[in-house]
Amino acid sequence: MAVHTSTDIGGQNYRFAVPWTAAAAVFIMRGRRLGTVGAAPGEVFMSLLDDFDFDTLSAPVVAVDSDDFREGMRQLAAGVTIVTTSIGDQRIGLTATAVCSLSAEPPMLLACVNREAGAHDPALQSRVFCVNVLGAQHLDLATQFASSDRAHERFTTGEWGTLETGAPVLMDSLASFDCLLGQTLRAETHTVLTGRVQAVRTDPAQEPLLYSRGAFGTFAA
């Protein structure tokens, strides 16, 4: 038996003609069964198959030029960090802008690290890393940690210490997030590292160092 019912979604009133109990349809995406979508009195629902693996979806065939992609990403102004780790008594780090907050409860962040970077394998092995947010006065550190030919200079300048995990912490950073490594996602040239934050230090009085359109700079409000 089909009856009319209605529901409010985002302030809009929709009417559906559905069987009184519920109506559901299989939701197909690129030829794969993804789950069900349907309606019941007062609700619209969608349920995904628990075991659906999005990675099995075939990649869309679109030819985006990587230079066009890079030009687009150049427009995204970013804060600058140094992501560090340590293994034994060796300290390793790199300049990184591909860092962001993941969740506040529990405190988690993520960092995308090139698999060729010197700090990549040590971070996966030691399972600790620290994200140090740089201030305007850290421009030279930012270039040191971004240049392979200046790798020998890293950790020779700046005041470095530790908090909980033993990963190197820049003690005059704007903020440092000392993390245990959580889940990782290997994605093409990079690995996404998730970090479970164990300690935070902040000094919001400083000016942040920014990176935009291939240049370092500071924020002008």
CA geometry: angle 181, 134, 205, nearest 5 deg: 115
Distance, in Å, from the CA atom of 45 to the CA atom of 11, rounded to the nearest integer, reads: 17
Q: Does 24 bind ligand FMN (CB under 6 A)?
A: no
Position among 146, 171, 192, 199 found at the interface with ligand FMN (CB under 6 A): 146
Q: Does 94 bind ligand FMN (CB under 6 A)?
A: yes
Whose Cβ is closer to ligand FMN: residue 134's or residue 197's? 134
Return the closest-CA partner of residue 85 out of 116, 115, 125, 112: 125
Q: Does 151 bind ligand FMN (CB under 6 A)?
A: yes
CA–centroid distance for 99 within its chain: 5
User: From the CB of 204, what's the least distance to ligand FMN, in Å?
Assistant: 22
In a 3-state reduction of DSSP, which class is residue 125? Answer: helix
Q: Does 95 bind ligand FMN (CB under 6 A)?
A: yes
Position among 5, 7, 36, 114 found at the interface with ligand FMN (CB under 6 A): 114
Would you say how long the chain is, in residues? Answer: 221
Q: Which stretch binds ligand FMN (CB under 6 A): 29-37, 40-48, 106-114, 171-179?
A: 106-114
Distance, in Å, from the CA atom of 54 to the CA atom of 35, rounded to the nearest integer, reads: 12
Distance, in Å, from the CA atom of 129 to the CA atom of 135, rounded to the nearest integer, reads: 19
Position among 18, 110, 117, 197 found at the interface with ligand FMN (CB under 6 A): 117
Q: Does 208 bind ligand FMN (CB under 6 A)?
A: no
